[in-house]
Structure 1
Amino acid sequence: MTTGADIAALFNEPNAAGIDPAMPAVNGDYVLNPGSRHGGAKRPAAVLVPLVERSGGLTVLLTQRTQHLHAHAGQVAFPGGRVDEGDVDAVDTALRETREEIGVTRDHIRIIGRLDTYETITGFHVVPIVGLVTPPFEVIPDPFEVADVFEVPLAFFMDPRNRKRHSLERGGVVRHWYAFPFGRYYIWGATAGMLVNLTRVLDAGLSLKDTDGEGRMAGPRVADFAAAGTIAAGAG
């Protein structure tokens, strides 16, 4: 079974902090949509990619935004947001937003590194900060921003059969995006793009000795999580 220690070894922990949130993006929505790159000012942001160290294997903690929000209403997202003036760096932004959105505090999170900066079609430069989250912890969602908090086995994202490419034509323009349908959740857009980047890092860096016989990472059974539904707030 791949552990948090295995994944931490792929990242350079001493350099995990002090990240410049405005550094040039090397990946983003424009990769699947040539010509759609945002031409205006780039807005720095950061998210936490929380890998929860469960006894049955690593999971990815995600949120679902409330339906009344002006931007990205109802979408699945990592905890995170814009860089505030008082934030020291992208790590500080990701940890602050995580505490504000879902109530998980810094003492439960060990930062192990970062993924490529992700440029959204709306002009945000998002730094994905990867952190290991150690249970038990209490989840307290902000009711204004967060409708749900749930976990998905990391093994689900590592299985290429679960990664989809969807598209939609609107006004004569076709837009493409990655998606990971998971039960009643539709994980897509920038969040799915960052998850694709995470799986590529892990695929390239991990020598997976514990597999299911077909080269896929072993871990908690996806069916167990799908049947159980969401992780109840406060049950972490």
Structure 2
Amino acid sequence: MLRTSICIRLFKSRIKYNTRTAQNQLHATHCIFSTENVKKHVVKIAESLTSELSYSNSIKRLKLKNQAAVLVPLCTVNGELCLLFTVRSNNLPTHKGQISFPGGGVKHGDTGAVDAALRETEEEIGFPRNKVDVWTTLPHISNHTRTAAVIPVVGYLGEVNIEDMVPDRNEVTEIFTVSLTNLVNNASYTRFRIKAKKRSEHDYVMPVYFTQYRIWGLTANIVDTVLSIL
């Protein structure tokens, strides 16, 4: 199970807030919403979460084949701030039918995580990479052996109409959006247990979002981090 200590600390802090508090905070976000205001805020918090030196070095130590990137696509639908998701095709060798953000492995020829996330987004959902306003990257999420990492890249797509997008059916079955209000209202947390040498690692809490699809795992980790930032 992919996870990161930074994300786990954020999960536990969010549990302390009740739904009403979260809704009030999100309402305040909508009241002051402008693309530029939210962008500045997200960039500032993301920078405070990430130690640039340790982040860069830990990624550089990984082989290219063990690096992946996903685009976290903030967008508006009828003026409401949303996140865009995909349903993975059953034709794929792994994680069939799961909910994810557009993304994939960093390949030779990519200039880095941002380039990989934009390339994969264009390939998977047909959204032109030059129309994505890239805001920042979030702390990478490592697997439990620290041999692979996924780098979330936050970008803004503007006002979108899902009907205008042309997904690659070999990779994506469906594209859908969920408003931030909907995500907050349908957030839950699940306790997981894994086999580990250290007793403190036996239990950990991870978020789950019960929207039109169940959003869990790595994707839910990233959603929780974005909501925490906002």
TM-score for both structures, normalised by structure 2: 0.68
Aligned position for 1:194:
222
* Structure 2 residues without counterparts, runs of 5 or longer: 1-29, 196-201
Query: Alpha-carbon deviation of 1:186?
Result: 1.0
Residue 115 of structure 1 pairs with residue 138 of structure 2:
yes
Matches within 5 A, 1:145-156: 145-156=171-182
Query: Alpha-carbon deviation of 1:136?
Result: 4.7
Q: Give the paired residue count.
A: 181
Distance 1:146 1:23 in 2: 33
Cα 1:87–1:174 change in 2 (3 A) is: same
Query: Alpha-carbon deviation of 1:199?
Result: 1.4
Distance 1:85 1:163 in 2: 39
Distance 1:192 1:150 in 2: 15
RMSD after superposition: 3.2
Query: Alpha-carbon deviation of 1:11?
Result: 3.9
Query: Alpha-carbon deviation of 1:69?
Result: 1.8
Aligned position for 1:5:
36
Cα 1:4–1:163 change in 2 (3 A) is: farther
Contact 2:75–2:160 (CA under 8 A) maintained in structure 1: no
Cα 1:162–1:136 change in 2 (3 A) is: closer
Using the aligned pairs only, state the percent identity: 31
**Does the residue aligned with 1:71 lie in a helix, a strand or coil?**
coil
Aligned position for 1:182:
211
Residue 68 of structure 1 pairs with residue 97 of structure 2:
no
Cα 1:121–1:103 change in 2 (3 A) is: farther
Cα 1:157–1:124 change in 2 (3 A) is: farther
**Does the residue aligned with 1:85 lie in a helix, a strand or coil?**
coil
Query: Alpha-carbon deviation of 1:121?
Result: 4.7
Contact 1:166–1:179 (CA under 8 A) maintained in structure 2: no
Query: Alpha-carbon deviation of 1:5?
Result: 2.5
**Does the residue aligned with 2:58 lie in a helix, a strand or coil?**
coil
**Does the residue aligned with 1:9 lie in a helix, a strand or coil?**
helix
Contact 1:59–1:153 (CA under 8 A) maintained in structure 2: yes
Contact 2:183–2:211 (CA under 8 A) maintained in structure 1: no
**Does the residue aligned with 1:148 lie in a helix, a strand or coil?**
strand
Distance 1:199 1:155 in 2: 10
Aligned position for 1:164:
189
Contact 2:67–2:150 (CA under 8 A) maintained in structure 1: yes
**Does the residue aligned with 1:60 lie in a helix, a strand or coil?**
strand
**Does the residue aligned with 1:194 lie in a helix, a strand or coil?**
helix
Residue 104 of structure 1 pairs with residue 135 of structure 2:
no
Question: 1:81-139 deviations in whole A, cap 9, x for unaligned?
Answer: 10010001111000000001110012321011121111135843111010010235631
Query: Alpha-carbon deviation of 1:179?
Result: 1.2
Cα 1:12–1:164 change in 2 (3 A) is: closer
**Does the residue aligned with 2:110 lie in a helix, a strand or coil?**
coil
Distance 2:141 2:168 in 1: 25
Matches within 5 A, 1:43-58: 43-58=66-81
**Does the residue aligned with 2:159 lie in a helix, a strand or coil?**
coil
Query: Alpha-carbon deviation of 1:174?
Result: 7.9
Q: 1:131 is matched with which residue: 151, 155, 165?
A: 155
Distance 1:23 1:64 in 2: 33
Cα 1:149–1:166 change in 2 (3 A) is: farther
Q: Which amino acid aligns with 1:147?
A: T
Q: Which amino acid aligns with 1:102?
A: I
Greater percentage in helix: 2
